[in-house]
Structure 1
Amino acid sequence: MATHAFLPTATWSGKLFEGQWSPGAGTQDVVEPATGERLGEIAMADPAQIARAAATAANAQRDWASAPYDTRAQVLRRAAQLAEEHNDEIVQWLVRESGSTQLKAGFEAKVNTKALHEAAALPSRSIGEVLPSEPGRLNLARRRPLGVVGVIAPFNFPLYLAMRAVAPALALGNAVVLKPDPRTAVCGGFVIARLFELAGLPAGLLHVLPGDGAAGAALTSDPNIAMIQFTGSTGAGRKVGEAAGRHLKKVSLELGGKNSLIVLDDADMDLAIANTAWGVYLHQGQICMATGRVLVQRSIHARFLEKLVAKAKSLKVGNPADGEVAIGPLINAQQRDHAARIVAEAQAAGATLATGGGYKDLYFEPTVLSDVSRDNPAFHEEIFAPVAVVVPFDTDDEAVELANDSEYGLSMAIVSSNVGRALKLGERLRTGLLHINDQTVNDEVINPFGGVGASGNGTSIGGPSNIDEFTQWQWMTVKGEAPAYPI
């Protein structure tokens, strides 16, 4: 790393964060996916450490919830200021630990700071309503903090997808136990811990505990945890949702997607290609909103495919730390092998490999699959790699049918020069996020973000939905004196 002024290695090496930096139950190496270089080691938490953290957080939360609203806002504002001051170092951690390109890492650091600024405004928001009632009775509905929120965050946008839950939960008076993915525990966990530590967050309110599945299971079952906010795969999310439900916890699940970008025959071809390349290849396709299917009207399909293949071949693949590249490494060999398996199975099922399909180490070539039918594995499975799946269609009705043929329902997009036509088509799509004349990968922090079907459990996070997610209603009435009831 070029500089360690913000997060010195000695601060976190072999440790985790419990309001102070402490040893864990074991350690795990921090490995740079681009080179295989060891960057250090993190401590790992076991279920006993999760339990202690949850109890400590529950005790600390009571004073935090009753603190003046501006006290909480000041901590969030200071954390945002620190994120801006140390932006370059944070970006480099994202590049080296998560394999992000410079462009993607810069964007993620920016939205992370924006999430902190937005959260800083939450403590001063209205937290309730005055309801009508009988004369002499004050009838109130107010939002109250949940208590301790458990956050389980993924590896792909590790910083922002953790912060988008941590920041509003703290701002609204909760404590947080964050379990970042151990593969990205520094940029997706310890950066957050350091920001709030330096911002003056009282000790005990935030715990950052990397851990394995047993640690995650402990989080979902602990009696001091009121809510689980999980972002990750649908398979893991089903287990988290089942466990949280069994223990009667509130749960927010932000899961996978097989997102369709529909290119209509009246689209500007160059803009359609640019949107497709961004949606498919950004961060090597390791994004829940990545464009998993490119549905192209048949009359322009051949020309579109030719241009997309040329675009894929032009994308530079390499170590993001060495300069500007379009495609960096996948997170690990397991993810690489998953992508290679689907590409091979797709070809066996009749798809054509138009370009790519190979890999070296963790670098997967920008790939284009064509002639993909509805019964092809590449049509249905989330690949999480730089693979474009191109499917032709004839009519707008067929485009809707193809796009909706999925258990997922996270993000969809339509590119067309006729906005009215696109809107009419879009009204029929089963998706949580819909973008007209854009691609599928979008998040502005101030928007409610959530999917339908296997992409989530009907909850949203971000913007106006944060108060709903991280608080609960309390009904309260006040009378001048107690009534004399007749029995």
Structure 2
Amino acid sequence: MEKFINYKDSFLHGEWIEGTSGRSYENTNPYDDALIQTMSIASKQQLEDAYIASKKAQKKWAKSTADTRVNILNKVAEYLKTNKEEIVDVIVHETGGSKIKANVEVDLTVGIVEEATEMANEIFQAEELPAQVEGKKNRLIRLPFGVITSISPFNFPLNLSMRTIAPAIALGNCVVHKPDLQVAYTGGIIIAKAFEDAGLPNDVLNVVQTDLEEIGDDMLTTPHSHLVSFTGSTPVGKHIGEIAGSKLKRVALELGGNNPFLVMSDANVDRAVEAAIFGKFIHQGQICMIINRFIIHKSKYDEFVKKFVEKASEIPCGDPRDDETIIGPLINDTQVEEAQKLISRAKEVGTDVKLEGKQEGRVITPYVFGDVKNDSEIAQTEQFAPIAVMIKAETDDIAIELANDTEFGLSSAIFTEDIERGKNLALEINSGMTHINDQTVNDNPTVPFGGTKESGMGRFGNPWIVDKFTTTKWVSVQEEYREFPF
């Protein structure tokens, strides 16, 4: 933490500038409430100034060479790798994530930055297109989009912030970024420091430490940015989509999930349980891709539930600073209260408790509910907590139907010994991603990451994000004299 602890302000115009809102925010460790730092909150005017400055800087940055952008991104990746141990420490202290989760997050982030270097040559490269007019040559050219608004969440803040920031900058855009104040370091300060040390020109990246009480919808309504990239809850995503749509702005929305994990009639139960434990309990279940529903063929149900409960009951829970801890605290009291309400209501309606958890501070140990109905509240709610629900399916076909019976469509997983059948079944699940003989929490910078239905719009990953973060222009050249009919 020591390398970053003295940074407590916004990164604006290439400097660390104190917020002028007159308000502050106490950034604390979610495990024991120890104060990490008191952050100064930026004002509405500072946000507006950041957009104006970024819009001006973007005109110059758009003309930078691919080599310049690649060089900076390589330095950012190296910064993250060199300072990995300290960054892991920050993630553990600030997000409550285990050391396993923290290491995974840093590695994913490095991969995103390195892949972004592959995008730098995409702008200003002409592609020849067919022409129907004699003597004409058509060219398609990608141009930087402009200033991109980035808003990231509390759960995987380093990774989920960088997957917008790095590609945007690689493609000649500028970024105004707002992390969640609960994770101001992981989601903002570390990223700004990496780009500052890499020599990024002023105002290509502005990181604004502020909150909705101060800025309201200003990041959505500003006339200086016409693309909003947001990762977070579906209700907030809908609000962003509504506001941005009224302004004809582009959006990249990665929202909530109700991700099913299907154990088919021919599945290897032991392998399925191993994957299921990881895919349910990493980062306390606070991941959009986390397994939310276990849908198990009746012939495998008893064996799967028994073995899952045995493993879940043995997971080390507590202080994430301990090397052995897997389940640490939920991020705040509100999340704990929501989880406990969900648990209480499930018990009230008689849901079978296969494993009774307990709460110690903000740490909730695993709960497992059995014989859950797919249309019940606990099955249809994105839990964001270490709560596992087991649903019995009469047939494999019914398992697919149950998997699709949700408003969401982000990730999914199928366990089967018949790989070819698994590939076909994957296409029947209405989600953006399906993983065969794996769990639902997977990411990679070279795949189309995103969901269907209420899980969002658009795809991250190279090359799909290139389309989102650039604009295409048609330039035609009439090389031979053209005769017109009048």
Q: How high is the TM-score relative to the length of structure 1?
A: 0.96
SS in 2 for 1:314: coil
Letter of the structure 1 residue corresponding to residue 53 of structure 2 = T
* Structure 1 match to 2:229: 229
Per mean C-alpha deviation after superposition, the further-off stretch among 229-238 and 138-147 is 138-147
SS in 1 for 2:138: strand
Q: 2:405 and 2:182 mapped to 1: Cα distance?
A: 33
* Structure 1 match to 2:16: 21
Alpha-carbon shift at residue 136 of structure 1 (Å): 3.0
Per mean C-alpha deviation after superposition, the further-off stretch among 100-109 and 337-346 is 337-346
Pairing 1:21-170 to 2, within 5 Å after superposition: 21-24=16-19, 25=21, 26-125=23-122, 127-133=125-131, 134-170=133-169
Tell me if the contact between 2:265 and 2:396 (Cα under 8 Å) persists in the aligned partners.
no
Q: 2:436 and 2:43 mapped to 1: Cα distance?
A: 46
Q: 1:66 and 1:290 mapped to 2: Cα distance?
A: 41
Letter of the structure 1 residue corresponding to residue 115 of structure 2 = E
Letter of the structure 1 residue corresponding to residue 129 of structure 2 = L
**Number of aligned pairs?**
481
Tell me if the contact between 1:97 and 1:187 (Cα under 8 Å) persists in the aligned partners.
yes
The RMSD of aligned alpha carbons is: 1.6
Alpha-carbon shift at residue 15 of structure 1 (Å): 4.4
* Structure 1 residues 286-315: Cα deviation after superposition (integer angstroms, max 9, x where no partner): 000000000111112112111111111100
Pairing 1:423-462 to 2, within 5 Å after superposition: 423-457=423-457, 459-462=458-461
**Taking structure 1 as reference, are residues 14 and 60 closer, same or farther at Cα in structure 2, changes over 3 Å only?**
closer
Q: 1:481 and 1:62 mapped to 2: Cα distance?
A: 34
SS in 2 for 1:433: coil
Alpha-carbon shift at residue 420 of structure 1 (Å): 2.3
Identity %: 38
Per mean C-alpha deviation after superposition, the further-off stretch among 357-366 and 277-286 is 357-366
Q: 1:14 and 1:455 mapped to 2: Cα distance?
A: 33
SS in 2 for 1:369: strand
SS in 2 for 1:176: strand
Pairing 1:261-410 to 2, within 5 Å after superposition: 261-410=261-410
Alpha-carbon shift at residue 483 of structure 1 (Å): 6.0
Gaps of 5+ in 2: none
Q: 1:65 and 1:117 mapped to 2: Cα distance?
A: 20
Q: 2:16 and 2:471 mapped to 1: Cα distance?
A: 32
Q: 2:153 and 2:140 mapped to 1: Cα distance?
A: 35
Q: 1:16 and 1:27 mapped to 2: Cα distance?
A: 16
Q: 1:89 and 1:199 mapped to 2: Cα distance?
A: 18
Q: 1:469 and 1:479 mapped to 2: Cα distance?
A: 30
SS in 1 for 2:162: helix
* Structure 1 match to 2:177: 178
Alpha-carbon shift at residue 16 of structure 1 (Å): 4.4
**Taking structure 1 as reference, are residues 129 and 14 closer, same or farther at Cα in structure 2, changes over 3 Å only?**
closer
Q: 1:249 and 1:268 mapped to 2: Cα distance?
A: 47
Alpha-carbon shift at residue 485 of structure 1 (Å): 5.6
Alpha-carbon shift at residue 211 of structure 1 (Å): 2.1
Q: 2:481 and 2:246 mapped to 1: Cα distance?
A: 39
Q: 1:451 and 1:22 mapped to 2: Cα distance?
A: 37
Q: 1:284 and 1:356 mapped to 2: Cα distance?
A: 16
SS in 1 for 2:313: helix
SS in 2 for 1:39: strand
Tell me if the contact between 1:17 and 1:190 (Cα under 8 Å) persists in the aligned partners.
no
**Taking structure 1 as reference, are residues 64 and 14 closer, same or farther at Cα in structure 2, changes over 3 Å only?**
closer
Q: 1:465 and 1:413 mapped to 2: Cα distance?
A: 23
Q: 2:12 and 2:331 mapped to 1: Cα distance?
A: 24
Matched, 1:478 2:463: no
Q: 1:486 and 1:415 mapped to 2: Cα distance?
A: 65
**Taking structure 1 as reference, are residues 175 and 481 closer, same or farther at Cα in structure 2, changes over 3 Å only?**
farther
**Taking structure 1 as reference, are residues 415 and 56 closer, same or farther at Cα in structure 2, changes over 3 Å only?**
same
Q: 2:65 and 2:136 mapped to 1: Cα distance?
A: 27
Tell me if the contact between 1:14 and 1:27 (Cα under 8 Å) persists in the aligned partners.
no
Q: How high is the TM-score relative to the length of structure 2?
A: 0.96
Alpha-carbon shift at residue 129 of structure 1 (Å): 1.6
**Taking structure 1 as reference, are residues 301 and 56 closer, same or farther at Cα in structure 2, changes over 3 Å only?**
same
Q: 1:482 and 1:155 mapped to 2: Cα distance?
A: 60
Per mean C-alpha deviation after superposition, the further-off stretch among 195-204 and 48-57 is 48-57
SS in 1 for 2:472: strand
Tell me if the contact between 2:134 and 2:480 (Cα under 8 Å) persists in the aligned partners.
no
